[in-house]
């Protein structure tokens, strides 16, 4: 197993490897945000990505790095939904058996999508971390290869390809605002951007309900958090007591981390729907939420916001939009 931390070259290697499996998602201007913060704001639309989130990038890069023997034996993943869907999709494409461990809290639309891709679903426990423990046991019992959702050099490099696309589309980019949970997404993007231009500001956004990376950064060591229900269900879970990569990468390459409330997330989702006709899940809308709420200390002249996923359960989106239109804070 590769234990070296990923670098820029790994991101370029990932770019070539995953090219045929992913969409080159658009970067669009947001006139509405421009009005609010008086700086150009661009949205990177990974909600339009294959499987409805960026997770397909890292999952593809990791699975394509496995040996024939590992592929034959199969893969296992623990997921809050989107990573499981991505792994199931790649596994289906290459005829690899896949087991996805989820907790009882994963929204039904995400469970349904995983099931439709033919993966075996194991519901293990009431939280992401209980599902994690279940997956570790099954991995050993069945000789499967674990596809980690964030703490893996191939996964981080895969997510980092978003950073390359940001620079290609907007060489003058000076700020990147990115949803943050385990840190594969922000870690990959930040290491890519900072390696190419150290002046670019990198900012992570988490929900204020159980923000594991935020608390760990503050304490300077891995902190456990209590999982709470949140609109940003894709961001739940802690970063792992044996975190090997993402904690150090975030410490090294990230300038600022901010938290948003449930009402602010709802406002972000509603803004995306009303101003951009975009369906964005809670975890995908935290960047917009942070900008709307004035939480980011320094907004640059050319700010990019990663919209990381679309997979919201429709009744939830309808309720959120009805309650928070026109994007007032519903607390």
Ligand X SMILES: *Cc1c(COP(=O)(O)O)cnc(C)c1O
Burial status of residue 16 (CB atoms within 10 A of its CB: 0-12, 13-18, 19 or more): exposed
> Smallest distance from the beta carbon of 55 to ligand X, in angstroms?
5
Among positions 134, 153, 158, 179, the unique one binding ligand X when judged by CB under 6 A: 179
Piece of the chain touching ligand X by CB under 6 A; list 96-104, 108-116, 177-185, 263-271: 177-185
- 186 binding ligand X? (CB under 6 A): yes
Residue 140 dihedral angles phi and psi, to the nearest 5°: -65, -50
Q: Which of residues 40 and 247 has its CB atom nearest to ligand X in the complex?
A: 247
Among positions 153, 182, 211, 263, the unique one binding ligand X when judged by CB under 6 A: 182
Residue with smallest beta-carbon separation from ligand X: 309
Among positions 139, 181, 257, 304, the unique one binding ligand X when judged by CB under 6 A: 181
- 284 binding ligand X? (CB under 6 A): yes
Query: What does the buried/exposed string (b/e) look like for 251-267 if buried means 16 or more CB atoms within 10 Å of the residue's CB?
Result: eebbebbbbbbbbbbbb
> Smallest distance from the beta carbon of 225 to ligand X, in angstroms?
14
The rounded distance, in Å, linking the Cα atoms of 146 and 178 is 25
Among positions 15, 55, 110, 209, the unique one binding ligand X when judged by CB under 6 A: 55
Q: Which of residues 6 and 183 has its CB atom nearest to ligand X in the complex?
A: 183
Contacts of 214 (CB under 8 A, 6+ apart): 180, 204, 206, 257, 259
Contacts of 1 (CB under 8 A, 6+ apart): none
Number of residues that bind ligand X (CB under 6 A): 20
Contacts of 206 (CB under 8 A, 6+ apart): 179, 180, 181, 212, 213, 214, 232, 235, 257, 258, 259, 260, 286
Residue 237 dihedral angles phi and psi, to the nearest 5°: 105, 155
In the region spanning residues 239 to 268, those forming contacts with ligand X, defined by CB under 6 A, are: none
Among positions 18, 102, 200, 235, the unique one binding ligand X when judged by CB under 6 A: 235
Sheet (strand 75-78) strand order: 120-123, 98-102, 75-78, 145-146
- 309 binding ligand X? (CB under 6 A): yes
- 53 binding ligand X? (CB under 6 A): yes
> Smallest distance from the beta carbon of 281 to ligand X, in angstroms?
6
Piece of the chain touching ligand X by CB under 6 A; list 22-30, 179-187, 194-202, 295-303: 179-187
**Token pair 């990573």 is at which residue?**
83
Interface contacts to ligand X, rule CB under 6 A: 53, 55, 82, 149-150, 179-186, 234-235, 281, 283-284, 308-309
């Amino acid at each position: 197993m590769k234990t070296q931390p990923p670098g820029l070259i790994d991101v370029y290697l990932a770019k070539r490897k995953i090219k045929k499996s992913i969409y080159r998602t658009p970067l669009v201007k947001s006139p509405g945000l421009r009005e609010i913060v008086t700086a150009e704001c661009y949205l990177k639309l990974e909600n339009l990505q294959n499987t409805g989130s960026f997770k397909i990038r890292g999952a593809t890069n990791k699975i394509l790095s496995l040996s024939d023997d590992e592929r034959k034996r199969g893969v296992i993943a623990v997921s809050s939904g989107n990573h499981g869907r991505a792994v199931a999709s790649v596994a289906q494409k290459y005829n690899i058996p896949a087991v996805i461990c989820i907790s009882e809290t994963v929204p039904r639309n995400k469970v349904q999508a995983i099931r439709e891709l033919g993966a075996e679903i194991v519901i293990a426990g009431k939280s992401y971390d209980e599902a994690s423990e279940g997956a570790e046991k099954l991995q050993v019992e069945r000789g499967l290869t674990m596809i980690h959702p964030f703490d893996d050099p191939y996964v981080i490099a895969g997510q980092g390809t978003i950073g390359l696309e940001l620079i290609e589309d907007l060489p003058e980019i000076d700020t990147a605002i990115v949803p943050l949970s385990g840190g594969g997404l922000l870690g990959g993007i930040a290491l890519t951007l900072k390696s190419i231009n150290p002046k670019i500001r990198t900012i992570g956004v988490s929900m204020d309900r159980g923000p594991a990376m935020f608390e760990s950064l503050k304490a300077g060591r891995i902190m456990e958090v209590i999982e709470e229900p949140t609109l940003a269900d894709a961001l739940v879970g802690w970063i792992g007591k044996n975190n090997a990569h993402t904690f150090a990468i975030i410490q090294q390459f990230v300038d600022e981390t901010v938290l948003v409330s449930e009402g602010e997330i709802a406002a972000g989702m509603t803004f995306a729907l009303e101003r951009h006709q975009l369906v964005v899940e809670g975890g995908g809308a935290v960047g917009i939420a942070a900008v709307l709420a004035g939480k980011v200390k320094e907004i640059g002249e050319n700010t990019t916001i990663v919209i990381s996923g679309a997979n919201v359960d429709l009744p939830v989106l309808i309720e959120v939009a009805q309650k928070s239109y026109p994007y007032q804070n519903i607390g």
